[in-house]
Structure 1
Amino acid sequence: MIKKEEVISFTWQHILLLASLYVMTFGVAACVRSQLGSSVISTIPYVMASAGKMLDYIPRWTIGGYTIMMNAIFVVLQILILRRNFEWVQLFQLAIGFIFGMLIDLNMVLTEWMVSENILVNALVQIAGCTILGFGIAMEVKCGSVTMPGEGISIAIHKVTGWPFPKAKIRVDITLVVLAVMFCFLLLGSWKWEIVGIGTLFA
């Protein structure tokens, strides 16, 4: 028999999760608007979305659309890495990844006013975006629900290799940034500093 308190706790836990996703994606969108480099999780989606506007053979998806696809790939990789040890409740990450991508697109619309040619303004937007993103991540961790796919893949690598989670996370982030730079050269012809720049390192 499910107790009333458990239902209330579960409800508030996931309300907090949704709120944290909104805060995180607002921070992500602000980092993109700074034109100084997006947050790590958005580098590849940003490259692909930019390429889609220029190349006929790349789908014209939004940053949020490519984020949804990347999160789905993360979940598939977790299954391949963990195999029998994969907890099937973690498939809920697919729903979280979908909501995360949709909220990025929503906040990309809501942050259009942040675009500026002033480098000082852009720096302030980047700092604000990173601060908001960090606050959102803290909220997400506190809610104690299913992890984000980006963290899930790092946890899977940590479990299999024995690397400490921080090191696994850093290596995943570095891999994403390196891939984003490679895609910049392959699809856009050069390193795009507004996609992978000083702001990415700061984030």
Structure 2
Amino acid sequence: MKLSLKKFIKHFGVLVIGILCMSAGVALSKLSLLGTSPISSIPNVISNITAIPIGQLTIAFIFILVLLEAVVLRRQFSWQNLLQLIPGSLFGWFIDAFVRFFHSLPNQTYIEQLGLVLMGTVLLSLGVFLEVNSHAIIMPGEGLPNAIALMHQLKFAKVKVYNDFILIGISLVLALSFTHSLAGVREGTLIAAFLTGRLVNFFTEHANRFVDWMTPATDANN
């Protein structure tokens, strides 16, 4: 069934807003110096090691995730999976833009840093909520766990949790190996890992009208 212009604007508009929220959330967490969300932890640590902007590294990391997705799906991998590179690349580009935009925010005291983490986590969670409910293009951060769950008949939520722990583990190894510290993956990473799913569920429970409105089955009535 062809997607009308109105539906296209509706679904992809919400996706872009979601990407903006997620990017702003990661940027705030980056500037907090306390660590970012699990999906951004590896680019963040490598950024600290190399001084390459986190957004550029995020785009490279997203290409790796899509490649791994192709390995997992094999013959079931299609051009639709490649489309994940579009929102993924926007995500990385917007992260660097927001890092520059927020660079003057105070982050000298621990309370200020913690505040940036919490604001970042809320924005990230809102962005994930909008991304999921846009029903447009799935982000690579969810695409790989979804592929693993599909091919091995596992629950997506369970695979996603294991995936996040693996990303955090790799980030810890990189940080300790190259900086001999936990720079880039600290308590902010754990806060994001613990709160993001819960906040997404909170938004879902309290915005059921929006969820229903975005559900493709209701598009015929819109």
Q: Same fold (TM over 0.5)?
A: yes
- Match for residue 80 of structure 2? 89
Aligned pairs for 1:100-115 within 5 A: 100-115=91-106
- Match for residue 139 of structure 1? 130
**Paired residue for 1:67, among 26, 49, 58?**
58
Structure 2 CA distance for partners of 1:34 and 1:86, relative to 1, 3 Å: same
RCO higher in structure (CA 8 A, sep ≥6): 1
SS in 2 for 1:113: coil
Provide the C-alpha distance between the structure 1 equivalents of 2:16 and 2:36, rounded to a whole number of angstroms: 22
* Identity within the alignment, %: 31
* 2:19 counterpart letter in structure 1: L
Superposition deviation, residue 38 in structure 1: 1.2
Q: 1:11-70 CA deviation, whole Å, 9 max, x = no partner?
A: 2211211111011100111111222221111111111111113xxxxxxx3101110011
Provide the C-alpha distance between the structure 2 equivalents of 1:13 and 1:77, rounded to a whole number of angstroms: 27
Provide the C-alpha distance between the structure 2 equivalents of 1:173 and 1:25, rounded to a whole number of angstroms: 18
SS in 2 for 1:147: coil
Stretches of structure 1 lacking an aligned partner (at least 5 in a row) = 54-60
CA contact (8 A) 1:37 1:196 kept: yes
Aligned pairs for 1:47-66 within 5 A: 47-53=45-51, 61-66=52-57
- Match for residue 31 of structure 2? 33
**TM-score of the two chains, using structure 2 as the length reference:** 0.82
Shifted more, 173-182 versus 6-15: the winner is: 6-15
- Match for residue 125 of structure 1? 116
CA contact (8 A) 1:181 1:191 kept: yes
**Segments of 4+ moved more than 6 angstroms:** none
Provide the C-alpha distance between the structure 1 equivalents of 2:133 and 2:85, rounded to a whole number of angstroms: 20
Q: 1:63-105 CA deviation, whole Å, 9 max, x = no partner?
A: 0111001100111111110111223212111111111100000
CA contact (8 A) 2:175 2:185 kept: no
Provide the C-alpha distance between the structure 2 equivalents of 1:201 and 1:2, rounded to a whole number of angstroms: 42
**Paired residue for 2:175, among 173, 184, 193?**
184
* 1:26 counterpart letter in structure 2: A
Structure 2 CA distance for partners of 1:129 and 1:2, relative to 1, 3 Å: closer
- Match for residue 206 of structure 2? none
SS in 1 for 2:185: coil
SS in 2 for 1:114: coil
CA contact (8 A) 1:13 1:143 kept: yes
SS in 1 for 2:104: helix
Provide the C-alpha distance between the structure 1 equivalents of 2:141 and 2:11, rounded to a whole number of angstroms: 20
Provide the C-alpha distance between the structure 2 equivalents of 1:2 and 1:15, rounded to a whole number of angstroms: 17
CA contact (8 A) 1:34 1:114 kept: no
Stretches of structure 2 lacking an aligned partner (at least 5 in a row) = 193-222
- Match for residue 24 of structure 1? 22
